[in-house]
Amino acid sequence: MTADLAARFPTDFRWSTATAAFQVEGARSEGGKGRSIWDEFVETPGRVLDGSTAEPGPDSYHRIDDDVRLLAELGVDSYRFSISWVRVQPDGQGPANPDGLDYYRRLVDALLEAGITPFPTLYHWDLPITLHREGGWLNRAIAERFADYTQLVAAALGDRVTDWYTLNEPVSTTLEGYAIGELAPGEALLFDALPTVHHQLLAHGRAVPILRAHGAERIGIVNNHTHVRPLHDTADDHRAVDAYDLIHNRLFADPLLTGRYPDLEAFGLPPMPVRSDDLAVISAPCDFYGVNFYNPTTVTAPPADSPIPFDLSATRGAEHTGFGEMWPIVPGALTALLVDFRDRYGPSLPPIVIGENGASFPEPATVEGTIDDRNRIHYLAGHVAAVADAIAAGVDVREYTVWSLLDNFEWAAGFSQRFGIVHVDQTTGTRTPKASYAWYRDLIAQARV
């Protein structure tokens, strides 16, 4: 079956896996690292489900060799990791921290020596706390701070890194970080959070020419996207679909791919704080568009007195991951999303990279021997097949990335959720490949034949 699935992909299709700095590095107080919004979030009682912090976690700061060995044996083409803003620039402004840059140089050099393309993300949510106190992503000035940070990283790594993600999941920062407060910085501003969309996209736009000037060959942003479905086949539920699709998908993709925002006023939402030339900066052509996908979203019409134009609902008839019924497993929804993007954006849509796809399931904290995580294999196989279906339908998808290489600190869920294809004992850092690791290794090897 794996060979049949592998045969559906061109031999130059790229395979990857991913992690993020705050989730795997540990070493919070080492090497001159500053404090981010996530340091404060995890120290606030009640914010993290199991009361844990990210220390020591996988301790990748001290285990470069272990991680690169796993990647080399897996056979991936590239490794998506993130660069910690506060490890490079502890206060979010001023000169670079040489110890922080040296860590990423060593990681990049080890990857290149192993024949693996480094594919870093400049921002994966660890905003310097100093910038948050100045307004964070609500403050337009942050786009310039991000440009300065990009310049420091590109000057240090641009001679050996050619592939870049700018920002990860601006939708999660806006909706979960600023609108409802489930992620750092824990604000609950509802639709007053919407300026953070524009400032994140503007930061992306400011970063692109800086990376180009330092030799970048492949640049893109990556967002979490979802295929939106109505709970009932009614006009009110379809209007709720349109509203959620606008807020979760189009609000982020439209300005990047078409140079304009969707009609927010149609849903009673405030306009974006756009200034002259902003949209030209935001929509400058990129080399790929990144899509993170985990599940579809089912919505229904809200109560009449609700300030929000949709209600979220469980997806009927679907199995779900360890995160519960709001994380349904519907691989065909990924195909539908990709085809929708092709139809919606046409020639303005660059090649797509699947920047994250994976699932968490309950697993023990410590293991002896491997974990037979056939539920994860089933999830991954279904979604890889969904990508193949999209390619067969004419969607230009170039790369697929499993989230995650390692069990890691799963943000507000702490260590209660495990996404890794490699089990990590969060006390000792011991790494144990799961059955899904062997499955993915075999898929990659067969896809190259």
Supply the residues annotated as catalytic: 169, 356
Residue 167's Cα: distance from chain center in Å? 8
Kindly give, in sequence order, each residue whose CB lies less than 8 Å from that of residue 133, ignoring residues fewer than 6 positions away: none
Is the dihedral angle over the CA atoms 150, 153, 159, 160 positive or is it negative? negative
User: 């078409």: which residue's tokens?
Assistant: 258
Query: Residue 232 has which token pair?
Result: 């009932």
How crowded is residue 21: how many other Cβ atoms within 10 Å of its Cβ? Answer: 29
What number of other Cβ atoms are within 10 A of residue 300's Cβ?
16
Strands (DSSP E) along 207-364, which ranges? 218-224, 228-230, 289-292, 297-300, 311-313, 352-356
Mapping DSSP to helix (H, G, I), strand (E, B) and coil, where does residue 162 land? coil
Element (H, E) at 259: none
Distance of CA 261 to the CA centre of its chain: 22
Q: Which two tokens stand for residue 160?
A: 């050996």
Give buried/exposed letters for 224-245 (b at 16+ CB in 10 A, else e): bbbbbbbbeeeeebebbbbbbb
Separation of alpha carbons 225 and 249, rounded Å:
6
- Cα–Cα dist 230/269, whole Å: 21
Task: Measure Cα distances from 48 to 40, 52, 114, 116, 419 in Å.
Answer: 11, 7, 36, 34, 17
Instruction: State yes or no: cis peptide before 185, omega within 30 of 0.
Output: yes
Tokens of 47: 């914010």
Q: Residue 36 carries which DSSP code?
A: B
* CB contact set of 113 (below 8 Å; sequence gap of 6+): none
Number of helices (H), then strands (E), in the chain: 16, 13
Question: By C-alpha distance, which of 252, 11, 217 is closest to 117?
Answer: 217
The SS3 of residue 25 is: coil
- d(CA 405, CA 395) in angstroms, rounded, equals 26
Peptide bond into 364 cis (omega under 30): no
